[in-house]
Amino acid sequence: MVSSPTTGNLMTCKKISSVWEHFDIVTVTESDGKVVTKVKCKLPGAKRKPNRRERRNPKLPPPTTDGRRAPARSIRHCGRTSRLSFLTSGASSNARVAPPPDERREQRRTSRPSLRAARKAARHQALRFLPHLLGSFSRLIFASPDTLRGMSSFAALGDHHTNAQREYSYRRYIDDDMEVDVEDDCLSFEQFRVMEPRTVVPPFTCEDYAFNYPIVGAIGGYDYKCPLTPDPTKKFILSIILGAERVMGRGKCYAPFTSENIVVTHERQALFKHLRMVGLSDAAKTAVYKSIATVITELFTDYDIPGDIQHLINLLKSGKKQVLYKIHPSIVPHSDRGWVFLKSYEYVMHRADAASKDLILLALPYHDTWRTKVNLNHVLTETYEYSDGAYDVNPSVGDQTAWTENAKKIQSAEKFMEFLRNGTSHRLQRSSKLSADQYETLLLVLFHMLLPKLLEAMLDHLGADGLEKAGLLR
């Protein structure tokens, strides 16, 4: 039993991934009272190749199989001095008398196949570990100083150290074999919450491009009072959801937590600390998602929560429709929203069956108001008037009796979807050529609940399989 670096509680260290099985986790208390987690590399089952000195002097103590670590020595097939523990084993203190020459030759002849097998096993284990080692150091060697200064200490370690438990926060991380010793430089949740705005109200400009939300083409000085969530906040929220779901993928689940159990890296990645693990169950998953909803609500303290974020919070609290959590439009990067809409449009309008298509269109908002909103902006008006009468709603010829209220809504929603598709695809063919971010700002301010309701309706009537076929699932 050791103190787990992931939770701070006593638990049995288990192999939790194909990478982490090559590490021994030990927690020790230093002289100053600090608790330090030490991680040591190992690869079980590999036998050390005798060096030249041992082969020439058979009186040396033979290698043992008790797993004790041997002193550093030269390894011929590596071509350099190495202290990697997975290529060395211990040396016994019991000396033995050398056998006669004839007996030694017979031993070498009979043991040659087993030596080949041992060498092959050692090479296989070394090659299996080598990509993780090289990948980590290549990121450090070829990264520019400016890049490293902008990274947190743990991010600079690379996947070799953090792949298996990259959602956890370590107070201090020590790997003697790799000569790595870094201390936690993460921000507390409260520090992160007050360091930058959680919402912005367009038009909003800032030196940081991530907080620029201009309004192009406003008519009559119309005031677009709709709070938007900037991308840094979206990234943080998504990292909480992904971190919790990675643990669920390993058959475990966090116990309910609060914002005090979360710290934030300089890349705005949420990390967890001092959490207790429980068994995976529907009740445990629901409790975790409710905790995430509470943390998100606390993040927006002193701010008006945007409507799409509130939609996500309500879903998290309910514990239902979990497939939507990590693809929810409220946490999609601003410049990617257009791709989400185009994928949804193509599947609903051209691939879904007729009955499901009608039900999805009826679930959309803005049936009666979208034309009024279009008239508030020159860019959108130009798209609407590009083809005269293209977006008018009229009953089908000879089908006046079937012109019901639902039929009107379905046709209006079809025209609305076609209008948004044409505006997104041809935004650079207008008199005002907008970037993807600028155009999405207009749509997000005027129709901020369209994408959340669209994806929810697709899940309700097409299922997760429909979302996957549409290319929307992560």
d(CA 125, CA 43): 7
In a domain, 191, yes or no: yes
Global confidence as pTM:
0.65
Given a cut of 60, whether residue 104 has pLDDT beyond it is yes
* 315 in the same domain as 420: no
Is 5 within 8 Å of 37 (Cβ atoms)?
Answer: yes
Q: Give me 93's structure tokens.
A: 């203190």
User: H or E segment at 25?
Assistant: strand 23-29
When the pLDDT of each residue in the chain is averaged and rounded to a whole number, the result is: 75
* 442 in the same domain as 412: yes
* Choice among 181-185, 357-361, 442-446 with the minimum mean pLDDT: 181-185
Given a cut of 90, whether residue 138 has pLDDT beyond it is no
* 384 in the same domain as 467: yes
* 248 in the same domain as 121: no
Q: What is the pLDDT at residue 131?
A: 56
* 384 in the same domain as 314: no
Domain stops at, among 276, 303, 330: 330
pLDDT digits (tens, 9 = 90+) for 16-42: 334 444 455 666 666 666 666 665 555
* 129 in the same domain as 112: yes
* 103 in the same domain as 9: yes
From the list 169, 156, 294, the residue with the least C-alpha distance to 237 is 294
Is 473 within 8 Å of 467 (Cβ atoms)?
Answer: yes
Q: What is the pLDDT at residue 435?
A: 84
Q: What band does 72 get if pLDDT is binned at 50, 70 and 90?
A: very low
Which DSSP string corresponds to 420-467?
A: HHHHHHTGGGSSS---HHHHHHHHHHHSTTHHHHHHHHHHHHHHHHHH
For residues 383, 388, 389 and 390, what is the CA-based torsion angle, rounded to 10 degrees? -50
CATH number for the domain that contains residue 192: 1.10.510.10
Domain holding 180, by residue range, is: 1-185
Q: What is the pLDDT at residue 126?
A: 60
Which is higher by pLDDT, 52 or 468? 468
Given a cut of 70, whether residue 372 has pLDDT beyond it is yes
Q: What's the structural domain count of the chain?
A: 3
